[in-house]
Structure 1
Amino acid sequence: EYAIAIADAAGNVVAEQNLDTPYTPASTMKTLTAYAAAATLDMGSTLETQTYLEQREDGTSRLVLKGNGDMLLGVGESDSAHINGRAGLGTLAANTAQALRQRGITSVTLVYDDSLFGNDRWPNGIAELDPDHVYYAPTASMAVDGGRNWNGANPTDPDTFSTYPVLSTQPAREAALVFAQRLTERGIAVNGSVKQGAVPDGTSPIATVSSASLNEIMAFMLRHSDNSLAEEFGRLLALHLNAGNSPAGAVQSVEQVLAQRGISTEGLTMVNCSGLAEDSKLTAHTLLDVQQRNLTSGSGSAAAEGLSIVGFVGTAANRLNDADEAGLIRAKTGSLGDVTSMTGNVSRHNGGALSFAVIVNDPDDSEAAKSAIDTFVAALPKL
């Protein structure tokens, strides 16, 4: 069962098979979430992780670590050269320790405020497909390296890896524990255990570190097909649109933006925002509409800039079937059980561009289907 289609840069379909038949798309669903978020949010903005101080009447000091959505925190110093780790808990601890010492404070109790995304952190469909916790960490106000537990086998480049380590099921708590350790190393004693708490009303942060821009985080999400970040972009969109602080609100928000932008949603069933669900469905028509928007300038461009470049970077780095096409194909791949898919846009040898979408469900031979997609895509620049 498959759908396959090609459209010119204006969105006119020039060849198709089963264009309007819904199929399970796997991670190509992320292109819908990415476009909706990029077309709506301020993609130049950052996510701040902050500390707040509450000095109590009994003379004790309570420090609150508050997350605002940065799930790519680093454990050490802030790293301006990378997206993952742009904001470092070591830097936040150093700045916090300095602010505390200026106030004559050398010991604190520490709590962390993980209230940003409410209580519902598990979108439909994911838990059933990820029993070993290697594809999704619960959406959190903060996390170190997306919740990845490398157990000492961290990649040399935090922005480049292709393996799937076990992910934390309590990413905000683990980030807070790392911060407590960094704070202790900088001479501030942390008394008792680290628990959840809330920022006191009417207070301002004493220290802040900022993430990479949302534009950069989206590129990281797309090129690694990061389910946790895809779900987070849906949640950030829902908060922006006041659509409900829940996974259901995230799905509703993506669908709302797509419809408002004139993208076909006929046959669309979004179980979640990442595509990590067997019951999600969409048509090749919808994927083509999103890619046509990616070929135009203006809002939503971040969704295009983050696509994997076949032969160079991202999940499609090893999908180059013809060396002459290197750098000409920007794509999002999808793989899930008996699903293999790809969608993207292409620079043509003779000028101009086109978009494409391929979804294969229940192939007799998954590797053969994947290879056939690569062969098809490699021929597109020559059209």
Structure 2
Amino acid sequence: MVTVSVVVTLAVCVGYTIADVYDVAPGLLTAQSAPTRTYSAIPTPLAAGAVAGKADRDVPIDEKKAEKLITALGESEGTGNFSVAIAAADGTIAAERNLDTEREPASTTKTLTAFTAVHTLEMSGTLDTEVYLTHADTSPTIVLQGHGDMLLGEGQNDPSHINGRAGLATLAQNTAQSLRQRGIDQVALAVDDSLFGDDNTSTALEQNNDGNAMYTPLSSMAVDGGRMRYGLTADPDAFTDYPTLSRTTASDAAQTFRSLLTRQGITVTDSSDTSGTEASARIAKVSSAPLNEVMAFMLRHSDNTLAELFARLTALKLGLGNSMDADIQAVVQVLRANDIPTDGLHLTSCSGLAAGTRLRIPTLLAVQRSLVGLDDGGAAEIEGLSVPGLTGTARNRAANDDIKGLARVKTGSLGGVRALVGNVSREHGGVLLFAVIVNDSSDELAANNAIDDFMAGLAKL
């Protein structure tokens, strides 16, 4: 454990940590021994200052070199119609092209949604899945009630992962124990999936949801985000596949819970009576990872459903309603309240999956400016941004070794669209912001390569 501690400490000094990459830090106080995990390709830690200079916000950007980078990007294959900007940490533009042209941003939209959630929700809070015992004296009924945890696990609570932190096996075990203490061995099970109402998807989202692999309608609970792996195993936090997503995630979770409860010796029948869920009737619950960790998972995997989930939680918190339109309204409202420019902003979803969203580069840059600000509280979002060459959807997006560990970014991809936004620690000191959006690309792979080369060059400015 001493060795692990030293490695983590060293890695922090270069802007990323082994724990961040692999999510290896379980809670310190637990009655269970921490599970043993194995790793591959662990980055070699480097001493402080070996990769980047001090993050001095006042180190100027060489505008001529910045212009050359942008010119090279524009001359690259696949870049189609593009907008791009390079800015200082305070948002001052050093170089740009087509700054105020409205573009389709794809999943870089998620940085806007994450920003609004961070500035609205209590990010240390959790999403609980609860069991209530009602009508105990007449016809014992238990109500399974979800509060938005769409990363439930089928097994025991897993403190070492975000996905599966709350386990249905633990919930079933605790429920059975509570029932037996009351002398109850037979119950009816009702499922309360009313949290997000019926407005939980949109036609625009479904148009880009090929094979149901990109989005599943919001629900109060889901196991592994509804991923249907058919027995295949994957690291719950570090997978790279896109399996088909169930469209009935809440009922799937309830069926799993019912089976697990039966294994605990409880006879279970069906009920539709969800009444009587007062706080005093609760007999068991499990809790998700804190919202800041769920957000990190969402950003690293570019999880469309979780992005829409954060928007819905924000809309509900603000009292704007329980609908997809209210979610969009919430994002725009919070952006404006925090002086993020919204000129030209038109959202068709809060994840970027739905076609038709448009924005201008200054909107993306302003969010990044806030994230690297000294006092703006964006840690929960910046922690979840991918590190090129190391984590998330940008794991394979480092054009060379020099950029590894120096950038935190969010990728965006749709048909004909490639986008990247983030912040970079420069090799010779200083921090910069950047955003690039390519629309109407005829060669999306070439566009990705051009953007990656551009990003790698930013570290040398």
* Length-normalised TM-score, structure 1: 0.97
1:128 aligns with 2:128: no
RMSD: 1.3
1:170 aligns with 2:257: no
Q: Which residue of 1 aligns with 2:30?
A: none
Give the stretch that moved more between structures: 324-333 or 212-221.
324-333
Per-residue deviation at 1:132?
Answer: 1.7
Cα distance in 2 between the residues matched to 1:196 and 1:17: 59
Note closer, same or farther for the CA distance 1:28–1:100 as it changes in structure 2 (3 Å cut).
same
Q: Any idea what the Cα deviations from partners look like across 1:29-81, whole Å, max 9, x if unmatched?
A: 00000011011110000111000001256x32111000011100000100000
Contact 1:112–1:198 (CA<8 Å) still a contact in 2? no
Q: Which residue of 2 aligns with 1:47?
A: 127
Contact 1:69–1:140 (CA<8 Å) still a contact in 2? yes
Contact 1:311–1:317 (CA<8 Å) still a contact in 2? yes
Cα distance in 2 between the residues matched to 1:299 and 1:218: 14
Per-residue deviation at 1:322?
Answer: 1.3
1:224 aligns with 2:304: no
Cα distance in 1 between the residues matched to 2:356 and 2:379: 29
Per-residue deviation at 1:285?
Answer: 1.1
Cα distance in 2 between the residues matched to 1:222 and 1:185: 36
Give the stretch that moved more between structures: 213-222 or 160-169.
160-169
Q: Any idea what the Cα deviations from partners look like across 1:242-289, whole Å, max 9, x if unmatched?
A: 011111111100100000100110111110100011201111111111
Counterpart amino acid of 1:302? Answer: A
Counterpart amino acid of 2:348? Answer: V
Contact 2:370–2:376 (CA<8 Å) still a contact in 1? no
Per-residue deviation at 1:201?
Answer: 4.7
Q: Which residue of 2 aligns with 1:63?
A: 142
SS at match of 2:392: coil
Structure 1 stretches (4+) deviating beyond 4 angstroms? none
SS at match of 2:169: helix
Q: Which residue of 2 aligns with 1:275?
A: 352
Per-residue deviation at 1:131?
Answer: 4.3
1:344 aligns with 2:422: yes
Per-residue deviation at 1:363?
Answer: 1.3
1:34 aligns with 2:114: yes
Aligned mate of 1:191, from 269, 274, 278? 269
More strand by percentage: 1
Per-residue deviation at 1:128?
Answer: 1.3
Per-residue deviation at 1:300?
Answer: 2.8
Counterpart amino acid of 1:93? Answer: A
Per-residue deviation at 1:124?
Answer: 4.7
Per-residue deviation at 1:179?
Answer: 0.4
Cα distance in 2 between the residues matched to 1:359 and 1:45: 34
Aligned mate of 1:16, from 90, 93, 96? 96
Q: Any idea what the Cα deviations from partners look like across 1:120-145, whole Å, max 9, x if unmatched?
A: 10035111111421100111111000
Cα distance in 1 between the residues matched to 2:123 and 2:277: 29
1:92 aligns with 2:154: no
Contact 1:238–1:253 (CA<8 Å) still a contact in 2? yes
Contact 2:146–2:221 (CA<8 Å) still a contact in 1? yes
Contact 1:124–1:272 (CA<8 Å) still a contact in 2? no
Counterpart amino acid of 1:335? Answer: S
Aligned mate of 2:223, from 139, 144, 149? 144
Aligned mate of 1:215, from 282, 292, 299? 292
Aligned mate of 1:110, from 173, 176, 189? 189
Q: Which residue of 2 aligns with 1:381?
A: 459
Contact 1:123–1:248 (CA<8 Å) still a contact in 2? no
Cα distance in 1 between the residues matched to 2:330 and 2:397: 32
Give the stretch that moved more between structures: 367-376 or 295-304.
295-304
Aligned mate of 1:5, from 85, 96, 111? 85
Contact 1:62–1:109 (CA<8 Å) still a contact in 2? yes
Aligned mate of 1:335, from 407, 410, 413? 413
Contact 2:206–2:354 (CA<8 Å) still a contact in 1? no
Kindly report which structure 2 residues correspond to 1:193-272, keeping only aligned pairs within 5 A, or say none.
197-201=274-278, 203-272=280-349
Aligned mate of 1:301, from 379, 382, 390? 379
For structure 2, the 5+ residue unaligned runs are: 1-80
Aligned mate of 2:162, from 83, 101, 104? 83
Give the stretch that moved more between structures: 209-218 or 299-308.
299-308
Cα distance in 2 between the residues matched to 1:191 and 1:106: 11
SS at match of 1:382: coil
Note closer, same or farther for the CA distance 1:379–1:95 as it changes in structure 2 (3 Å cut).
same
Counterpart amino acid of 1:3? Answer: S
Equivalent residues, number: 380
Contact 1:67–1:113 (CA<8 Å) still a contact in 2? yes
Per-residue deviation at 1:203?
Answer: 4.2
SS at match of 1:163: coil
Note closer, same or farther for the CA distance 1:242–1:27 as it changes in structure 2 (3 Å cut).
same
SS at match of 2:130: strand
Percent identity, aligned pairs only, is: 52
